[in-house]
Structure 1
């Protein structure tokens, strides 16, 4: 019995050791997999970093590119297009004006009634129609004046109206902003795409020397989505996204800050994590599908404040068929969303400060004074909804970056003001401004 008992004891000890070894091995493998996840996210966070000194480099680079774009066509990644809008509404306009807002597949017609000084917009009506497919996909003659074509078409249908202005949504947003607040000097669109325009002195537009305007200024459409600088914190995921895009080496700034791309950048990072670990289960295949994770979904996950990150789990399950995610895995997803959003918002803020610095409204001096009688000058930038309005963390990070770059004293005089419907109401307001000018 002694020998049998000893044999059983030894056998149990061997089994116990084997089980212990298996558990230790499993834990070690789990630890190494998790270490790889932490490494991927840590490297991504480091590559996306936007310390104040780097943001100020981006500001200066934006100013340099703006000067180059105003000096000659093709001299900069920024097109700096002249809009020939040299009058802005000031709230004294009255009468009834119409605007036509053409989009990809639809057309909106707005009727706006203005009441003059103090009355602002009395009433406005909107009708929307789908554009017939044959018109959307058809070709048209190049070189024709669009405004003239529209006037001719209206005349044939018994509508005797004049086209007062042809503008894009950023210029329209600036018009709405200036109508509400005369200190508005620029407008920014940060939504599915991104763009900016601002009020520039006529004599600063060197590529059109001799350009004269009654007001002494002109609105410049920057097309700032194409801005690029070596100071922008670009990662391997940004490079891959650009290489696989139909507009490679173009719209570099837009690909880092606009709603079209933020979700896709997050998707690429999560796919890399799925390749080096099993924290997402068998979802690597789904994560390999480009643009499967849209920015609104990314924003919802980022702002999930439930204790168990319930919304993160729901979205990943519905979009990527990922089930049973651990809380630790969900927290990694939120962290990646945060890194992408923070970088985008802070870079967008740097772009805005670049505009203000170019026109001397950043408090640093320059051609135009950023101060009035020793005090910082109030400056308003109109922003049309999009990420700034609908994504609270984006808004928080953008406002934080403006204070970081400018300092509290100057930043408190820079107002980011949401403007509604620049493409529609803004166009009508510009028509009113030009009609009153005539």
Structure 2
């Protein structure tokens, strides 16, 4: 079992958010969510009445060529264009400046309610000129450059947003887990357990619990000895664009599981254990085996594993496979997926046990967990 102290490894970040939603809050707000390659711009109407709300939302996709670069302003300008497009479609209020909340799916050190220092990238992104800078101010610069009358009034990590959104409709929620292209967890922590907040302060005296963003996707980044890393994991990490970063995420999330399978399959081919030692251009291409195809292979219950064969033919261009080859591929997918689930369960057990023992849960026997998963 992983305990809460080894889990943190100095990566936990507390947010400027305290107390619990009641479900009676009301108002209309804009939101910008950046989650991997996906961008969501929303207008949320909170109606109170025990968590009733409505959402008007548009989804955008960040072009692959904008994931890596020298100047992050190119990416930020694209995000600004997404916001401008959304406002042109749905804006109905004659406001001089629109207030917006930002859900940012990358590690940030919170400096204020709408201030946050960028720590590192993930999900395949990499811009060297943004580390240590305030992501909100960078976006404001892009807004001003494009003439967009929008002000970000609150910044939160996507796991924190998941916790708050679920708690709005289910007030007993104390933990959130976000799992898809990346992975993260947030939970309510007692103030006395946070060294930065434990000292007496007139501002903090009335506070009890605050939200902590675990950034557990980066668990074991410092040592790479706590997790059961295999040679396949090390190869994936070594060849990634963010080496030695987000190790737990690379072992469990949708961005990387398919790539682990592909690396294992290639090693089997090189050992003359699969496909008569014959590969293909597609199979030799990094990240060509999307994690979604794992689910297809795992769920194949046909006698000849016809779905697995279709994936091999249509996706990986492997023209000749035996029934035994297909069984092996299915088993590899099952093993990689099951390991991911067990690692996630272990981390969640550590957080849940701590929350219940710590007294942050509603009672001492259980706590409510908000889950948000999405396909990649």
Q: Could you say which residue in structure 2 is the equivalent of 1:384?
A: 372
Contact between 1:263 and 1:293, CA under 8 Å: does it hold in 2? yes
Does residue 254 of structure 1 match 2:249?
Answer: yes
Which residue is 1:223 aligned to? 215
Other-structure match for 1:310: 306
Q: What corresponds to 1:22 in structure 2?
A: none
SS at match of 2:300: coil
Pairing 1:204-283 to 2, within 5 Å after superposition: 204-210=193-199, 212=204, 214-228=206-220, 230-277=225-272, 279-281=274-276, 283=278
Work out whether residues 85 and 218 of structure 1, in 8 Å CA contact, stay in contact via their aligned partners in 2: yes
Cα distance change, pair 292–158 in 1 and its aligned pair in 2 (3 A): closer
1:114 is displaced (CA, Å) by: 2.2
Whole-Å separation in 2 of the counterparts to 1:109 and 1:191: 19
Per-residue deviation, 1:189: 1.3
After TM superposition, give the deviation of residue 297 of structure 1 in Å.
Answer: 1.1
Instruction: Provide the C-alpha distance between the structure 2 equivalents of 1:223 and 1:201, rounded to a whole number of angstroms.
Output: 18
Partner of 2:50, secondary structure, is coil
Residues 359-404 of structure 1 show CA distances to partners (whole Å, capped at 9, x for unaligned) of 2x2xxxx4428795xxx623111111226xx9xxxxxxxxxxxxxx
Cα shift at 1:336:
0.7
Paired with 2:19 and 2:362, the residues of 1 have a C-alpha distance of 24
Check whether the contact 1:199–1:218 (CA below 8 A) recurs between aligned residues. Answer: yes
For the Cα contact (< 8 Å) 1:183–1:378, is it kept in 2? no
Structure of higher CA gyration radius: 1
Asked if residue 136 in structure 1 is aligned to residue 131 in structure 2, the reply is no
Residue equivalent to 1:368:
359
Gaps of 5+ in 1: 1-55, 70-75, 391-438
Gaps of 5+ in 2: 67-72, 78-128
Three-state SS of the structure 1 residue aligned to 2:241 is coil
Deviation at 1:199, TM superposition (A): 0.8
1:124, 1:238 → 2: CA distance?
Answer: 39
State TM-score, norm by structure 2.
0.72
What is the aligned partner in structure 2 of residue 326 from structure 1?
322
Query: How many residues get paired?
Result: 309
* Equivalent in the alignment of 2:97: none
Normalising by the residue count of structure 1, what TM-score does the alignment of the two structures yield? Answer: 0.62
Please identify runs of 4+ aligned residues in structure 1 that moved more than 6 A. Answer: 129-134, 137-142
1:342: how far off?
A: 0.6
What is the CA deviation profile of residues 270-294 of structure 1, one whole-angstrom value per residue up to 9, with x for unaligned ones?
Answer: 1111112263135335433322211
Distance 1:323 1:108, change over 3 A: closer
The 3-state SS of whatever aligns with 2:32 is: strand
Q: CA RMSD, aligned part only?
A: 3.3
Is the alpha carbon distance of 1:108 and 1:325 closer, same or farther for their aligned partners in structure 2, counting shifts above 3 Å?
A: closer
Cα displacement (A) at 1:213? 6.1
Distance of 1:319 and 1:129 partners within structure 2: 25
Contact 2:174 2:360 in 1 (8 A): no
Asked if structure 1 preserves the Cα contact closer than 8 Å seen for 2:176 and 2:185, the reply is: yes
Alignment of 1:286-301 (within 5 A): 286=281, 287-301=283-297
More strand by share: 2
